[in-house]
Structure 1
Amino acid sequence: MVGVAGGTRRRVVGVAGAGCAVVSLALQAVTAAMGESAAVPGLGPATVLPPWDAAAGPDSVTVTVLLAVAVLFGIVAVALGLVAVASGARPSPRLVAVAGLAAVAVLVVVPPLGSADHLSYVAYGRIALAGDDPYTEAPGTWRDGRDPVAGAVQPPWREEPSVYGPVATAAQAAVAAVGDGSLRRTVWGLQLLVGVCFLLTAFALDRIARTTGPGTPGADEGGADEGGAEEGRTGGGRAGQGDGGPDPSGTARARVAVLWTVNPLLLGQLVLGAHLDAVAVAVATVAVALLRRSPLAAGVLVGVAAGVKAPYALVGLAICWALRGLPRREALAVAGRGLAGAALVLVPAHLWSGWHTYDQAGRARRFVSFATPWRLLVDRLDPVFGADAVRSAIGPAAVLVMVGIAVLLSRRLARVTFAGSARDPVPAAAARAWLVLALAWVLAAPYALPWYDAILWAPLVLAAGTGTAGWVLLDAAVLTRLGVLALAYLPGRVVSLAPEVEAVTLGFRREVAPWLVLAAALTVLGWARQRSRGARPQPRGSRPRPQGSPPSPAR
């Protein structure tokens, strides 16, 4: 009877989570479909091809309320999904795939919302396609601001050259070629690219999760923490299985479904927002999946990711760190092929774009977002020391904070098994190092927007720790951070805002969000410090071996 009751509760929680996800996605799609608003930049005259909208012209109060409710439903959906997985729920992979495909299909036929970044993307592509330099030409002045694509860029970005890598510029130019001078058609091409990349990430994560072996989910490999305690209680090291039994690959795949494939927050930020972060994270994830099968291809993909957005070079560092576990000669061979692959992309790409590619990005390093904890410091120090001095100091300070966070997290996460480690520990070690660096990066960065967190969510998905108290805390902190940032930047544009909408949204962004983001960061750091301090290193011979590996020789 207890098992039946547990199964019923699990189904109820799972269905409730799925229902919340549907509501969240529906509200976001409806808001976009209503047409130009404070959340949706206009795309000009309607065409036969998507993106389609009703040109209803909703007011800022309506779209802000709809999107705020959508974000809250999205947070609840992911939280309930994690609870269901921890209780043993294992959604059908086929059903998850269909749901993810359906969600993307809906979101790419309505206009992007949440920012006007997609207009900048296609403008830079249009400039590059014409043979001009998007790193020196501002969209608002190119062709006297009369181009149907580049001229649509919104303030304050009309006067700003590109801050994106050369591979991003090449992708933007390809999209511009497909659009052939039509703003709406060009944006749709970008949406299709982003949607395919989101699904590619889901597929790659699921493939990695399928290789997860017995005993990996939920149990740390260390001693005195929740993983070891759970192993002692169950006798099998299968923490986090809940009512689902010894089904590690099922747990890992369910985690992929909840945290990525049907995550309404990520779908909204990346797919409906049409952000290039979806492209970078897709190729980075595939690079980790292909690391041992083809180091050259993995290197090429890391080069592509870093050439789209520079922070994804962290994935290359993570891969190099993971190779330490191989024999020296093999590690050098794999690293050499990987570096050669990255060079095949990055060297010609930068020769094409020029040495000034990152001039604008360098200037952007002085920016500090309203919703980050750094803003609390900046607002108090600017009047005392001057904005220039404070902004100059923030960058180096953030680097030091990032290094400190990475050291702390590496000690904790070194004892966590990642999905896929049963077949080959190297890609799993790369995912682990990626999570360390990505967490450190996003927690320390002075400038943050919700879609930037994509670099963190892919490796987080592969952390096979769901079900233990510590991992619930980590997942909750990361989910809270994304939800707060999503709420902080509603409705997405600072145009046509009613006074009450401007007061509430700007007030939350400046006065509330930084403290909540700081609380989420401190939660992660407290979790890492507590576990790394309490864990004891094991004897070298006592660590679990990947499936199929030969036994250690007798000592």
Structure 2
Amino acid sequence: MSHTASDADAGEAPSGLALGHTGEVARRGLLLASFALLLLVGLALPHAAAPDLGPRGWAPGTLLPVALSPAVVTGALWTAYVLGAVGVLLAVLGRGTELPRAVVAALAVGAALTAPFGSGDHVSYAAYGRILALGDNPWVVSPDTWRGGSDPVVSAVEAPWTEEPSVYGPFATVVQGLTSLGGGDNLRQTVWLWQLVVIASWLAVRWCLRRILPGREGRIDAVWTANPLVFSVGVLGAHVDLLATALAVAAVWAAHRYAGLGGAALAGTLAALAISSKFTYAVVLLALVVAFSARRVARSAVLLVAAGVVVGGLQLWAGPNVYDQIGRSARAVSLATPWRWVFETLGGDADARRVVSVCAAVLAVVFALCLWRLVRPAESSVGARALAAVAVLTGAYAMAASYSLPWYDVVVWATLPAVVAGVADLVLLLRLWVMTMAYTPGRVLGMTPGVEDVTMTVRTNVAPVAMLVVWLWLVTSAVRGGFRRPLAGPPRGSAPRR
């Protein structure tokens, strides 16, 4: 498919915000320090942010035999997130720089040598995969009851998820089951295979974006590849959101690359796999329908039929209990959002949950309208328009949802390269930074009382106020007519590509 507009065509005129040599050196130094701290935390012995995965088997072991205290881990991560956020800010304000392949490869290898940190979710993935691989139903059986709680992998699930069946879709659980078959009864081996899936997903997003958005390689690396916050919560955290994000972006790539009905069918299939990994990724279907020309009714129909067939088939295979947990998780309320205050003010009961859920849904619509005024696709191609729509829809959901975590933002930043740099980048960066700071170190175990008091204060008192600031900034920017002026222009000498 030919590209009908380039960066320059989209109105990104040269800007006076170029960083210059000193600013570029500072940006690189900030990002280097941030990545180094993150890798240090991932390469160290198990600590407050990283659960003990037991004997390493044939998987990589701990490369840095250093014991980090809860205070040091928290301080290192907070420092990395501050430095990383400033580095990304400078990249957004500037023109972005394409990363050499050697740097991308080094980051991928470094991630493969770490142990995941920031939550215990990867241990839950290993448990659900093992339950499926050994013939039972992970959407019905909870880890603490399966086989008497004595399995060497499943018994490692940490609170508060020991009593919770899987909340993930059938495709993600199949992938988790395959990693379990490869890892056997060794938790570290199973988790490492899952890490490889996540790293491959991170690289696949970059590959797809570079083909959907030729000429924007610098912006792709600025907001995705060289974004320490995304790298930490997505790649080093080994979250399933990265797999779903890669499938969603691949669906857009398929629709962009192949203009016929075959491309629509492939896009629908990939979108269905994303939905069958995490249900909230259904927005990619809406984004593609919006991006298709109104005259392409047949293309939209094939897209939706293909997605329905794949989702339906996986649903029939997995059974009726696959989405039992979605209703419960949709009514949960995070500690770091302003909704927690509303929930507790209303009494903290079931009625309060329903009120918060309805209000959050309404606010998500409002935020989507606000973001729609603030963003502009960098190109007029199907791929760019679809990615921009996904950025709007997922960004609004992540900010408004009553239950929201920092890794929910991964898909937002995977799609932002398709958008002309503007105030939406800054709003979304502040949102991601607040959430990463709030959910450090991320686990509920392994902290000293002092560290727990400090981190919970940030999560329950500071973060909700900061999120209110984010909400206010977004709404006021949109009300003022939308800040559609670009923050930066294309690299000098860039030309339209066909």
Q: Could you state the TM-score of these two structures normalised by the residue count of structure 1?
A: 0.81
User: Is 1:316 matched up with 2:285?
Assistant: yes
Equivalent in 408, 411, 414 of residue 452 of structure 1: 408
Contact preservation (8 Å) 2:97, 2:222: no
Inter-partner Cα distance in structure 2 for 1:533 and 1:203: 30
Equivalent in 392, 396, 407 of residue 358 of structure 2: 396
Aligned residue in 2 for 1:124: 128
Alpha-carbon offset, residue 390 of structure 1: 0.4
Aligned residue in 1 for 2:27: 17
Contact preservation (8 Å) 1:124, 1:173: yes
Inter-partner Cα distance in structure 2 for 1:272 and 1:399: 30
Alpha-carbon offset, residue 91 of structure 1: 2.6
Contact preservation (8 Å) 1:123, 1:139: yes
Distance 1:336 1:502, change over 3 A: same
User: Is 1:418 matched up with 2:378?
Assistant: yes
Aligned residue in 1 for 2:69: 59
Cα deviations by residue, 1:75-129 (Å, 9 ceiling, x for unpaired): 11111222331xxxx5345x1x332221121012111000000000010000001
Distance 1:8 1:456, change over 3 A: closer
Contact preservation (8 Å) 2:127, 2:143: yes
User: Is 1:190 matched up with 2:194?
Assistant: yes
Q: How does 1:331-346 map onto structure 2 within 5 Å?
A: 331-346=296-311
Alpha-carbon offset, residue 58 of structure 1: 2.4
Aligned residue in 2 for 1:437: 393
User: Is 1:147 matched up with 2:107?
Assistant: no
Aligned residue in 2 for 1:236: none
Distance 1:353 1:7, change over 3 A: closer
User: Is 1:44 matched up with 2:50?
Assistant: no
Equivalent in 506, 525, 533 of residue 475 of structure 2: 525
Aligned pair count?
468
Equivalent in 422, 426, 434 of residue 476 of structure 1: 426
SS at match of 1:162: coil
Aligned residue in 1 for 2:92: 82
User: Is 1:376 matched up with 2:341?
Assistant: yes
Inter-partner Cα distance in structure 2 for 1:343 and 1:355: 16
Inter-partner Cα distance in structure 2 for 1:276 and 1:394: 26
Alpha-carbon offset, residue 12 of structure 1: 2.2
User: Is 1:305 matched up with 2:291?
Assistant: no
Distance 1:165 1:51, change over 3 A: farther
- Counterpart residue identity of residue 284, structure 2: V
Contact preservation (8 Å) 1:108, 1:271: no
Equivalent in 488, 510, 528 of residue 460 of structure 2: 510
Alpha-carbon offset, residue 534 of structure 1: 10
Aligned residue in 2 for 1:498: 448
Query: Which segments of structure 1 move beyond 4 Å, counting only runs of 4 or more?
Result: 6-9, 532-535
Contact preservation (8 Å) 1:104, 1:267: no
- Counterpart residue identity of residue 434, structure 1: V
Contact preservation (8 Å) 2:48, 2:443: yes
Inter-partner Cα distance in structure 1 for 2:442 and 2:374: 36
Inter-partner Cα distance in structure 2 for 1:9 and 1:160: 49
Distance 1:353 1:9, change over 3 A: closer
Contact preservation (8 Å) 1:99, 1:262: no
Distance 1:525 1:144, change over 3 A: same
Distance 1:462 1:533, change over 3 A: closer
Aligned residue in 1 for 2:328: 363
Inter-partner Cα distance in structure 1 for 2:183 and 2:279: 26
Contact preservation (8 Å) 1:13, 1:83: no
Cα deviations by residue, 1:475-494 (Å, 9 ceiling, x for unpaired): 12111111111110111212
Cα deviations by residue, 1:264-284 (Å, 9 ceiling, x for unpaired): 111111110000111111111
Structure 2 residues without counterparts, runs of 5 or longer: 1-15, 486-495
User: Is 1:280 matched up with 2:244?
Assistant: yes
Task: State the structure with bigger RCO (CA 8 A, min sep 6), 1 or 2.
Answer: 2
SS at match of 1:290: helix
Which deviates more from structure 2 when the two are superposed, residues 26-35 or residues 161-170?
A: 26-35
Alpha-carbon offset, residue 418 of structure 1: 2.5
Contact preservation (8 Å) 1:477, 1:524: yes
Inter-partner Cα distance in structure 1 for 2:40 and 2:446: 19
Alpha-carbon offset, residue 358 of structure 1: 1.1
Contact preservation (8 Å) 2:438, 2:459: yes
Cα RMSD of the aligned pairs, angstroms, is 2.1
SS at match of 1:147: coil
Contact preservation (8 Å) 1:139, 1:159: yes
Inter-partner Cα distance in structure 1 for 2:424 and 2:374: 12
Inter-partner Cα distance in structure 2 for 1:407 and 1:59: 44
- Counterpart residue identity of residue 506, structure 1: M
- Counterpart residue identity of residue 290, structure 2: W
User: Is 1:101 matched up with 2:70?
Assistant: no
Aligned residue in 2 for 1:91: 97
Equivalent in 41, 48, 58 of residue 31 of structure 1: 41
Distance 1:533 1:31, change over 3 A: closer
User: Is 1:255 matched up with 2:255?
Assistant: no
Equivalent in 168, 171, 176 of residue 172 of structure 2: 168
SS at match of 2:481: helix
Cα deviations by residue, 1:142-199 (Å, 9 ceiling, x for unpaired): 1111111111111111111000111111111111111122111100000000001001
Contact preservation (8 Å) 2:159, 2:444: no
Cα deviations by residue, 1:190-242 (Å, 9 ceiling, x for unpaired): 000000100110111122220xxxxxxxxxxxxxxxxxxxxxxxxxxxxxxxx
SS at match of 2:62: coil
Inter-partner Cα distance in structure 2 for 1:141 and 1:343: 34
**Which has more radius of gyration?**
1
Cα deviations by residue, 1:500-529 (Å, 9 ceiling, x for unpaired): 211110001000101111211221222222
Inter-partner Cα distance in structure 2 for 1:496 and 1:284: 35
Q: Could you state the TM-score of these two structures normalised by the residue count of structure 2?
A: 0.89
Structure 1 residues without counterparts, runs of 5 or longer: 1-5, 211-248, 536-545, 549-555
Cα deviations by residue, 1:378-413 (Å, 9 ceiling, x for unpaired): 23222xxx5221012111221122223323433454
